Amino acid sequence: MRANRRSENGLFLAVALTVFWGAAIALWISAEQAYSAPSKKANVVAIGGSVTEIVYALGQEHRLVARDTTSTYPPQAQDLPDVGYVRALSPEGVLSVSPELIITEGGAGPPEAVEVLEAAQIEMVTVPNGYSREAVVAKIRAVGEALDVATKANALADRIDADLRAAEAKSAAVTDAPKRVLFILSTQGGRILASGTGTAADGIIRMAGGQNAMTQFEGYKPVTAEAIAAAAPDVVLMMDRDGNHSVEDDVLFSMPAMQTTPAAANDAIIRMNGLLLLGFGPRTAEAVTQLNRQLYDG
């Protein structure tokens, strides 16, 4: 009898210890996971076309609840609520989707809209702008860090970096006489608004092996007929958009400011999708290759 009781007591103790240590291990694992796994915010608003593209490229689109007007790629992004143009945001529209995180390109505004969002104590991350291979890579890493998917972002950044290096190397090898490219943003009111230095247009032209025809100023400014004649662009580059900013080729080249240019003499104009051309996101290597091909392969 005593032997049986000792056996039963031993068995009971063994079971109790097993249950205890099992529970302790489960609790430790749970605590370790809670400590090591970052909290991934679910309701994300992407402001800026390149930011939205990066979110999709990282496979995090399921966390998006809204986007801005410039976020037109991939096409399914346009199914998301639109909170306004990146520089003319509607704070009410942003707040209506109950965001936990806002990721934006630099220059988002207006300032009073940003102040409203900051006052609502919503986390807002501004990713760095820039118009180079290094800037694209830095932007991808910044978005990945904001989304707590740094490992995925580093892998994507490395792949995009390699693609851009290859595209730029191919561009550099094409010609010893780079074509002079005039980027025209608009011709509203008969005034030509062109790109100087320090712009996305200037950056993509250089990466594609061209030379910006307007280097006397920074940013986008109206230019005179005399300035365009002196610049003597070989090619005009524009975005392929509709509406008030569009202009037909023959109308453009019949403008007095353009008539004497080599571009007008050869009807040399390139039109590309604006976000692809100027977005400096995951598709920039594609933009560089496409622009280079159109500049030098006809």
Q: How far, in Å, CA of 260 to CA of 129, rounded?
A: 36
What is the structure's pLDDT at 189?
86
Residue that is written with structure tokens 């005399």 in the block = 226
Phi, psi of 251 (to 5 degrees): -65, -45
Nearest to 132 by CA among 164, 155, 103: 164
Residues of the chain with CATH 3.40.50.1980: 44-170, 176-296
Place of tokens 């290597």: 285
Give the pair of three-digit tokens for residue 246: 């569009």
Q: Calculate the alpha carbon distances from 158 to 97, 151, 213 in Å.
A: 33, 11, 32
- For residue 3, pLDDT over 70 is answered with no
pLDDT tens for 11-63 read 444 444 444 444 444 444 444 443 334 457 889 999 999 999 999 999 999 99
Among candidates 94, 101, 97, which has minimal Cα distance to 127?
101
Topology of the domain covering 44-170: Rossmann fold (3.40.50)
Show the beta-strand stretches assigned E in 52-131: 64-67, 84-85, 88-89, 101-105, 123-127
206-242 per-position pLDDT tens digit: 999 999 999 999 999 999 999 999 999 999 999 997 6
pTM: 0.84
Of the chain, the end-to-end C-alpha distance in Å amounts to 101
Residue 247 pLDDT level (bands cut at 50, 70, 90): confident
Tokens of 36: 């090591």
Percent of the chain with pLDDT over 90: 80
Residue range 176-296 in CATH 3.40.50.2000: no
Quote the CA–CA distance of 267 and 295 in Å, as a whole number: 13
| Helix (H) / strand (E) containing 134 | helix 133-146
Angstrom CA distances, 271 to 185, 246, 276, stand at: 11, 11, 11
What value, to the nearest 5°, has the Cα angle with vertex 31 and ends 30 and 37? Answer: 85
- Helices 200-207 and 150-172, interaxial angle, to 10°? 60
How many CB atoms within 10 Å of residue 201?
Answer: 26
| pLDDT value at 66 more than 90 | yes
pLDDT at 293 over 70: yes
Query: Model confidence over 152-174: pLDDT tens digits?
Result: 999 999 999 999 999 999 999 87
